Chains A and B, each alone.
Chain A
Amino acid sequence: MVFFAAVVAHFAVAVLALIGLRRRPVIAACAGLVVLAGTALVVATQAIGATSAPRKTIEWLPLLGFNFTFQVDGFAVVMALLVSLLGFGVLAYSIAYFEHDATFTRFVGLFMAFAGSMIGLVLAEDLFTMFIFWELTSVWSFLLIGLHDKSEVARRSAVRALLTTGAGGLCMLVGIGLLQNQFGTTSFAQLREAAPTGTMASVAASLLLLGAFTKSAQFPFHFWLPGAMAAPTPVSAYLHSATMVKAGIVLLARTAPIFGDTGVWRWWVVLAGVITMLIGGWRALRETDAKLVLAHSTVSQLGLLTVLFGIGSPYATYAGVAHLVAHAIFKAGLFLGVGVIDHELGTRDVSKIGAARRSVPVSVVAIGACLLSMAGIIPLFGFATKEKALVALLDAEFGLVGSIALWGIVAGSVFSVAYSVRLLHALVRTPNDSASHDEHHAHHEASALVRSTLAAPVVVAAVVSLGFGFAASTVGSWLVSPSSALDVKAVSKLALWPGINDALLISLVVIAIGAVIGWKAPLEDNSAQQPQGERVFDAVYDATIAGAKRITAVIQPGSLPIYVGVTLLLVSIAPLSATFVDGFGSLSGLTSGTALEASVSIIAIVLALGVAVLQSRFTGAMFLGGVGYAIAALFALRGAPDLAVTQLLVETLTIVVFLLALRAMTRITARPVARFPQITRMFIAATVGIAIPLLALAARDARTAPSASQEYFARSVDEAGGRNVVNVILVDFRGFDTMGEIVVLAIAALGVANLVRAAEQHRRAAISVKEVAGS
C-alpha cells in the first residue's frame, strides 16, 4: 500500500539523518523535502477521482485484536495534505533558519520522524492504530521542544509537555481498552455501527476526551502549549500550531459521530472549548513576546475547533474542517513570519517589531495578510470559515449548550480580532527606540538566498490565505468530501460573500469591538509572571517527587537486617499458608537415608548452629562455608555430581568474597539495634526454619504429573547431542533460564563495581573537602 510506504519513507529519512548523514544535514533535509513532496503528490493523485476510500489492515497481534488499520477517506486526505505540504514549507524554511546551528541534524531526523508519525495518525481508521502514532508524536514533540538541551527552560517545558500529553495518552489507552472490551472493536466505523450507549460508553468517551484535551491543549491542560514555545520557530510552527496539536481535534472529529449523543460529551467539549477560547484570547492580548501571543492564540483557536468538531452537528463539522485548514495555513505563516522578524531584529518583543517593516517589508505585508485571515476579515479565507462557523451554530438546535457554544465563539472571536489587530498595530507602529534595530542588524548580515528562503513560506501562506478567500466557493466544494467522511450529512458550501444575514451582522459587531480593543491594548505589558497552569503543574510535579522520596525512605531504610528479615518472612508465608490449607507432607522419607548421609547432615546442622552463635565474623564465615561443603557432599552422595561440583566451587569462591568484604567490617557481629531486637530475629529464623522443610516435604508428595526429567532423558542425546542431561537442560531445554541467570550475574557484578566506584568517589570528595577546610 502506497500510503504505508510513504510513512515508512519518512522514518527512513529520519534514520538517515540521525545516523547516516550526521555531517550533511542539508542533504538529509533535501531527502526529507522529496519524501514530503512525494507524499503530498501521492495523496493528491489518489484522492482525485477516488470513489471509495482504500483501506488496509496490517496484522500485528491478531489474537488480541490489535492491528494497524489505515483508511484514506476524504478527511484523512486533507489532513495528510496539510501535514505534508506544511512540512515541506517548514522544512525548506528551516534549512535557512538553522544555518550555522549544530542541532540541525537532530532537528531533521526528529522532524521527519514526527511527520511520518503524523501521517500515520491521520490515516488511522482504528483507535488503537491512532494511539500508537499519537504516542510517537508526543515523544518527538518532547525531543523537539528540548532540542536545545542545554537550556533549562527548554528542558522543563519539554518535560511538562510530555507528562501532560503522556498522561492524557494513558487515559486514552484505558478508554480504548474499555471500548475493545465492551464492543470487541476499536475501529471507528464499527464503533459507529455499535452505537455505544450507557455508563461504560460515557466513561470511555470521557477518557478519550482527556486524551484529546491534553494533546490539543484544552482547559485545564492548556498551559503546556505556550511553554512549548521554547522550541525553535520551525518546531512551533509545525508541531505546535499546524499539526500535532490538531491530533486531539482529529480524535474529536473521528469520535464525535460515535459519542456525540452520549451523556456528558457535548457539555464537556463545549465548556472546555469555550473556556480555552477565552483564556487563550485573554492571554494573547497581554503577552509581549510575539511568539507567545501566537501560542496563546493557537490555544484559543484550538478551543474553537474543539467546539466545532465536538458538538456533533453536521454543519459545525463542515465549518470545523474549513476552519482547521484556514487556521493551519495562516498560523504556520504567522509563526514562520515571526521567525523571520526574530532572525532579522533579534527580538520578538511586540513593542519593537515595528522596525521590521523597513528591513523585511515583503514578509511584514505577508504577516499582515495572515493576521487579517486570523481576525476573519473579508476577503481572506479566515472570514469565510468564521462565517460558516457562526451560521452553523446559529442553525444548530442544542438548547442551552448550543447557546453557550454560540456566544462563547462570539466572545472568542472578539478576542481573536483584538489580538490580531494588536499585532498589526505593533507591526505598523514605529518603535520607540530605533537604536536596538541597528545594533541587532549588524549581527544578522544574512545572505539574500537565506533571507528569501525564510520569507518564501510566509508569502506562500499569505497568498494561499488570500487566494482561498477569493476562491472560497471552489475550496468549499473540495471540503465536502473530507467533512462528509466524518458525517455523511455534513455537506455544505463556503462563500466569500454570503449575503446579509445574522452571522454577518454579528461578525461586523465582533470586528468593530475587537478592533477597538486590539488597537487600544498596550504593547508594553507588565505582568511577567508564570501562568497559573504551569504553577499548578509544577506544584503537582514537585509534590509527586517528594511523595515518592518519602515512600522510598520508608520501604528502603537502608538496613540490611531489615531487608533480609522482610524477604525471609515473605518467602515463608507461601509454604506455611499452603501447608495449613493442604495439610502436611508425610515424614516417611526422613529415615530412608544411609548412615553416611545422616552423619554429613549432622555435621551440617552443627556448623549451622555455630554460625548463629559465634561472635567472630571470620569464624562465622568459615562455618558457613563448612555448611556449604556438607551440602555439596550430600549432593554427591545422592548422585548429583554436577550439582556437587558447582556447589563446591561456588562455596569456595563465596568464602573468598566474604573474607574480602569482611576486611572492611568490624571483627565481631554488631549488636542488634533497638528497632530490630534479638527476639524478632529469632522469630524470623524459626519461621524460616519451619517453613522451608515443610515446603520440601510437601513438594516431594505433591507430584501429579510424571517427572519432567524422564522426558529430558529421552530427548537429550537425539535433540541436543549431549549425554549429560543436566548440562543439556541448562544450555538447551531451559537455556532461556540460564540466559536470564547469567544476565542477573552480570548485573550483580556491575552493581559491585559501581558501588565500589561510588564509594571511592565519595571518599575522594570527602578528602578534597577536608583539604580545602585544612588549607
Chain B
Amino acid sequence: MIKSKILEELIDRWLTKVGTLVAIFITFRGHNAPGGGFAGGLILGAVFVLQYLAGQQPTIRRKPILNPERLLGLGLLLALVTTATPLFVGGAPLESYIWSITLPQIGKVKIVSSTFFDFGVFFVVVAVVLMVLTFLGTRGGAISHEPTDGAG
C-alpha cells in the first residue's frame, strides 16, 4: 500500500479525473481511431487499480462503488438492447443506424447506434475489473491473513 499523502492526493485529485475523461474519450473515439469500449473500460479499470493500490476504495466523485454487479448487469443489458432493437424495426441484429444532429455551439454531431453497444462493453469491462478488485483484493485478501491451519 502506498502510504504517501502526496501520492494519494495526486491520484485522488488528478489521475482519477483525467483517467475517467480519457477512458470515456477513448471509448467514443473508438469508432474512427484506435480505442473503443474495451480499451476505454480497461483504462477506467486501471484508474481503479491505482486507487486500490493507494489504499482507497474504488470511488467515483468520492463515493465508493458498492455494487459492481449492478454495473455488470447494466452493461450486459445495454449491449443486449442495442443488439435486439433493430429486430423490432425490421433490421438485422446489431445493424447500425446513423443519425446526424446539429447541436448549438458544437456543430454537427454524428451518432452511430453501435456506440451504445460499445458503452455496454465499456461498463462490463469496468465492472469485471471492479469485481476482481473487490473480491480478490479486499475480501480475498482477508482470507490470506487467516493463519493457515490444517497442518497444525
Known A745-B128, A746-B124: A723·B112 in contact at CB below 8 Å: no
Chain A residues, Cβ within 8 Å of B54: none
Least CB separation from A753: chain B residue:
B135
Q: Which residues of B contact A656 (CB under 8 A)?
A: 49, 53
**Is B137 interfacial (CB-CB < 8 Å)?**
yes
**Alpha-carbon distance A680/B80, docked complex (angstroms):** 45
- Candidates A653, A723, A749, A759; contact of B46 at CB < 8 Å: A653
The proximity string for B residues 82-124 relative to A, scoring 1 for CB distances below 8 Å and 0 otherwise, is 0100000000011110100000000000101011011011001
Beyond A660-B140, A756-B135, is A727–B49 a contact (Cβ under 8 Å)? no
In the assembled complex, which residues on chain A have CB atoms less than 8 Å from the CB atom of B76? 742-743, 746
**Contact (Cβ within 8 A) B136 A731:** no
Residues in B whose Cβ lies below 8 Å from that of A184: none
For residue B55, CB closer than 8 A to chain A, the reply is no
Per-residue CB contact flags for chain A residues 731-762 toward chain B (1 = under 8 Å, else 0) read 11001101100110110111011001101100
**Alpha-carbon distance A656/B137, docked complex (angstroms):** 9
Q: When the two chains form the complex, which single residue of A652, A663, A739, A748 contacts B144, counting CB atoms closer than 8 Å?
A: A663
A722–B114 contact, CB under 8 A?
yes
Q: What is the CA–CA distance of A642 and B31 in the complex, to the nearest angstrom?
A: 11
Cβ of A560 within 8 Å of any chain B Cβ, yes or no, is: no
Q: Does the CB pair B124–A739 fall under 8 Å?
A: no
CB–CB B45/A653 < 8 A: yes
Residues of B within 8 A of A726 (CB): 34, 36
Considering only CB atoms, which chain A residue lies closest to B100 in the complex?
Answer: A721
Which residues of chain A from 661 to 685 have a CB within 8 Å of any chain B CB? 661, 663-664
Q: With both chains docked as a complex, state the minimum distance between the C-beta of B43 and any C-beta of chain A, in angstroms.
A: 6
Asked whether, in the complex, the Cβ of A746 is within 8 Å of the Cβ of B33, the reply is no
A720 to B95, CA, bound (A): 8
Q: Total A-B pairs in contact (CB under 8 Å)?
A: 156
Instruction: State the Cβ distance, B98 to closest chain A Cβ, in Å.
Output: 4
A498 interface hit (Cβ, 8 Å): no
CB of B31 within 8 A of CB of A646, answer: no
Cβ distance A213 to chain B, nearest Cβ, rounded Å? 43
B24 at interface (Cβ–Cβ under 8 A)? Answer: no
Does A763 reach chain B (CB closer than 8 Å)? yes
Which chain B residues lie closer than 8 Å to A653 at the CB level? 42, 45-46, 49, 129
Q: Are A660 and B114 in contact (CB under 8 A)?
A: no
Whether the pair B79, A723 counts as a contact (CB closer than 8 A) is: no
Please tell me if the beta carbons of A645 and B96 are within 8 angstroms of each other in the complex.
no
Contacts of A641 in B (CB 8 A): 34
Q: Is the CB of A752 within 8 A of B38?
A: no
Q: Distance (Å) between the CB of B68 and the closest chain A CB?
A: 8
**A698-735 interface code vs B (CB 8 A; 1 in, 0 out):** 00000000000000000000011111101110111001
How far is it, in angstroms, between the C-alpha of A515 and the C-alpha of B149 when the chains are bound?
Answer: 75
A650 at the interface (CB under 8 A from B): yes
Closest chain B CB from A637 CB (angstroms): 14
Q: In the assembled complex, which residues on chain A have CB atoms less than 8 Å from the CB atom of B117?
A: 731, 735, 738
Q: Does A657 contact B (CB under 8 A)?
A: yes
Q: With a CB–CB cut-off of 8 A, which chain B residues contact A721? A: 31, 96, 98, 110, 112
Q: Is there an interface contact between A746 and B72, defined as CB atoms closer than 8 Å? A: yes
Give CA–CA (A720, B141) in the complex, Å. 45
Name the residue in A650, A652, A727, A742 with the highest tally of chain B Cβ atoms < 10 Å from its Cβ: A742
**Does residue B132 face the partner (Cβ distance < 8 Å to A)?**
yes
B75 at the interface (CB under 8 A from A): yes
Query: Nearest chain-A residue to B52 (Cβ)?
Result: A656
> Could you tell me how many residues of chain B have their Cβ less than 8 Å away from some Cβ of chain A?
56
A108 CB → nearest B CB, Å = 33
Cα of A663 to Cα of B141 in the assembled complex, Å = 7
Q: List A contacts of B93 (CB < 8 A).
A: 735-736
> In the complex, are the beta carbons of A652 and B46 less than 8 A apart?
yes
Contact B114 A742 (CB under 8 A): no
List the A residue with the shortest CB-CB distance to B94: A735
Within the assembled complex, what's the spacing in Å between the Cα atoms of A727 and B34?
8
A724 contacts B31, CB within 8 Å? yes
A752 and B124 form a contact (CB under 8 A):
no
Q: Among B33, B38, B53, which residue has its beta carbon within 8 angstroms of that of A730?
A: B38
Q: How large is the interface on A (under 10, 10 to 19, 20 to 34, 35 or more residues)?
A: 35 or more
- Nearest residue (CB) in B for A644 is B34
Q: How far is the CA of A641 from the CA of B32 in the complex (A)?
A: 12
Q: Are A650 and B42 in contact (CB under 8 A)?
A: yes
Query: Would you call A765 an interface residue if the criterion is a C-beta within 8 Å of the partner chain's C-beta atoms?
Result: no
Is A564 among interface residues, defined by CB-CB distance under 8 A? no
Tell me if A19 is interfacial: C-beta within 8 Å of chain B.
no
- By a CB distance below 8 angstroms, the chain B residues around A730 are 36, 38, 118, 121
Q: Is A649 an interface residue (CB 8 A)?
A: yes
- Which residue of chain B has the shortest Cβ distance to A643 in the bound complex? B34
| Complex: chain A residue closest to B27, CB-CB | A727
- Kindly state the separation between the CA atoms of A742 and B72 in the bound complex, as whole angstroms: 10
Q: Which single residue of chain A is at the shortest CB-CB distance from B117?
A: A731
Given A664-B144, A745-B124, A749-B131: A724 and B37 within 8 A (CB)? Answer: no
Contact A739/B80 with A649-B43, A660-B140 known, Cβ cut-off 8 Å:
yes
The residue that A742 contacts in the complex, of B94, B124, B132, with Cβ under 8 A, is B124
Which single member of B32, B124, B142 contacts A722 (CB below 8 Å)?
Answer: B32
Which of A663, A724, A742, A752 makes the CB contact (< 8 A) with B120?
A: A742
* Chain B residues, Cβ within 8 Å of A645: 34-35, 39
Whole-angstrom CA separation of A203 from B140 in the bound complex:
58
Contact status of A749 and B112, CB under 8 A, knowing A649-B43, A719-B96: no
Of residues 36 to 84 in B, which have CB atoms within 8 Å of A's CB atoms? 36-39, 42-43, 45-46, 49, 53, 68-69, 72, 75-76, 79-80, 83
Beta-carbon contacts of A483-508 to B below 8 Å, as 1s and 0s? 00000000000000000000000000
The complex places the Cα of A664 from the Cα of B138 at a distance, in Å, of 12
Most chain-B CB neighbours within 10 Å: which of A656, A726, A748? A656
Closest chain A CB from B26 CB (angstroms): 8
Q: How far is the CB of B85 from chain A (nearest CB, A)?
A: 12
**Residues of A with C-beta under 8 A to B37:** 731
Instruction: Flag if A742 contacts B79 (CB, 8 Å).
Output: yes
User: In angstroms, how far is the closest chain A Cβ from the Cβ of B117?
Assistant: 5
Q: Say which residue of A650, A720, A731, A759 sits within 8 Å of B143 (CB atoms).
A: A759
Known: A660-B141, A742-B124, A763-B143. A732 touches B114 (CB 8 A): yes
Output the nearest chain B residue to A666 by Cβ-Cβ distance.
B148
The smallest C-beta distance from A205 to any residue of chain B, in angstroms, reads 43
Candidates A646, A661, A731, A759; contact of B39 at CB < 8 Å: A646
Docked-complex contact A763 and B146, CB < 8 angstroms: yes
- CB proximity of B147 to chain A, nearest CB, Å: 11
B34 pairs with A642, CB closer than 8 A: yes
B127 near A727 with CB under 8 A, answer no
Given A720-B96, A736-B93, A736-B94, is A657 in contact with B36 using a C-beta cutoff of 8 Å? no
Give A81 Cβ to nearest chain B Cβ, in Å: 41
Determine which of B46, B114, B115, B134 lies in contact with A649 in the assembled complex, contact meaning CB atoms within 8 Å. B46
Asked if residues A722 and B31 are in contact (CB atoms below 8 Å), the reply is: yes
Contact B72 A749 (CB under 8 A): yes
Residue of A nearest to B83 (CB): A739
Q: A656-B53, A731-B117 are in contact. List 20 more A-B contacts (CB 8 A).
A: A642-B34, A645-B34, A646-B42, A649-B42, A660-B133, A661-B140, A721-B31, A723-B31, A724-B36, A727-B35, A731-B31, A739-B79, A739-B94, A742-B120, A742-B121, A746-B75, A746-B124, A757-B135, A759-B140, A763-B143
User: Nearest 8 A-B pairs (CB), nearest first?
Assistant: A649-B42, A735-B94, A722-B31, A664-B144, A641-B34, A731-B114, A721-B98, A756-B135
Contact residues of A with B, CB < 8 Å? 641-642, 645-646, 649-650, 652-653, 656-657, 660-661, 663-664, 719-724, 726-728, 730-732, 735-736, 738-739, 742-743, 745-746, 748-750, 752-753, 756-757, 759-760, 763
13 residue pairs of the A-B complex, CB under 8 angstroms, read A641-B34, A646-B38, A656-B49, A721-B31, A724-B33, A730-B36, A730-B38, A738-B117, A739-B83, A749-B132, A753-B131, A756-B139, A759-B143
